[in-house]
Amino acid sequence: MLPLPASLAYLALVFATTAWGSLFLVGKHVIGVIDPVWFTVVRYALATLLLLVLVQCFGQSPWVKLRANLARLTLLGVAGYGAFSILVFVGLRLSAPSHGSVLMATMPFTTLGLRWLLDGIRPSPRAVFSAALALAGVATVAQLLAGTSGGTTASQLGDLITLAGTLGWVFYTRGAASLPDHSPLEYTALTAVAALPWLIAGAALATAGGLVVLPSLAVLASFAPELLYVAAVPTVAAALAFNLGVRRLGAPVGTLFLNVVPVSVIAVRAVLGVPPQASEVMGAGLVALALTLHAWPARSAPGVRLAKARCPGV
């Protein structure tokens, strides 16, 4: 199979992060009624059904790979799908979406730090500067530099919970390197299949303990369009696109694109009739500049730089 052109890999990452931006808009509405734990379970139950069909049709011996790597796939799936989704949306309930956007933007720093700590790959000054510039852009979008966002005890707790959740996605993104024989589709699908029983069991235990409330069928039916959209687009399609882009370009580039999430939220709101503020336009420009600076070395010397970034950081 011919390698995916870098240009298409960048487009895949843009699509994934834009779709995740819509997840914040739709999810904020849904979790006001459905607990984040059960929202995550329903989201991935629906998504797994679709992924099962896709991996059965297009995977190469996926069930053999599932049996051979069940423990690893389960751990990675619970981290990326369970911990990340649940903690981020629990944090979103307590804090402002602008705070969550900034915390999502810390993942490039986390990824660079883990590659340095675990892989011995020291980040280049350009990579560090690009990540810092992107973070500054998202902070500008959220108007945190102007001190206009709230800072109550509840919101601070929500921010800490969201920050913990982002570590789950960083761990999931890096984990693909340990399964190089899994295609992006297989990695996405098999981690979901392996993790889903544990997500259901955890939600059931939390419900039995009175920590969360099981939504009724009537409530789920009232949110059917939102749940189907979340399962198909921000979950299945976006995860496939993200894993495809990361496989081609590496985790540092992939996580840097997570800064597009809050910018995409601004774009969707603009389409809905809410014009962007000056700080939002300025922040979007900083994010775009950071992406350009970080991506430029990969385009200028793909044979060397991409070979270094593709496996160790996925």
Residues 6+ apart with CB under 8 A from 215: 33, 34, 35, 38, 42
Nearest CA among 107, 245, 258 for reference residue 176: 245
Q: Which helix (H) or strand (E) covers residue 73, if one does?
A: helix 70-77
pLDDT reported for residue 1: 52
CA angle 27, 19, 155 (to 5 degrees): 40
Of the listed ranges 22-36, 266-280, 287-301, the one predicted with least confidence? 287-301
Judged by phi (left if over 0) then psi (alpha if -120 to 50, else beta), residue 250 lies in: left
**Mean pLDDT over all residues of the chain?**
82
Of 111-120, 215-224, 284-293, where does the model show the most confidence?
A: 215-224
Task: Write the CA distances from 94 to 98, 142, 218, 243, 301, integer angstroms.
Answer: 12, 16, 26, 30, 44
* Three-state secondary-structure class, residue 165: helix
User: What confidence score (pLDDT) does residue 191 get?
Assistant: 96
Model confidence at 134, pLDDT cuts 50, 70, 90, reads confident
The yes-or-no verdict on residue 299 having pLDDT over 50 is no
pLDDT tens digits for range 167-215: 898 889 888 888 999 998 999 999 999 999 999 999 999 999 999 999 9
Banded model confidence at residue 120, pLDDT cuts 50, 70, 90: confident
Q: How confident is the model at residue 144 (pLDDT cuts 50, 70, 90)?
A: low
- Look at residues 231, 232, 253 and name the one whose alpha carbon lies nearest to residue 242: 253
Q: Answer yes or no: is pLDDT of 241 > 80.
A: yes
Return the pLDDT at 146.
61
Domain ranges for the chain, please list them: 6-310
pLDDT at 309: 35
- Phi, psi at residue 35, to the nearest 5°? -60, 140
Token digits of residue 176:
């693909």
Residue % of the chain over a pLDDT of 90: 38
Q: What pLDDT is attached to residue 310?
A: 35
305: pLDDT strictly greater than 80: no
- Nearest-10 Cα torsion for 138, 142, 143, 148: -150
| pLDDT of residue 314 exceeding 50 | no
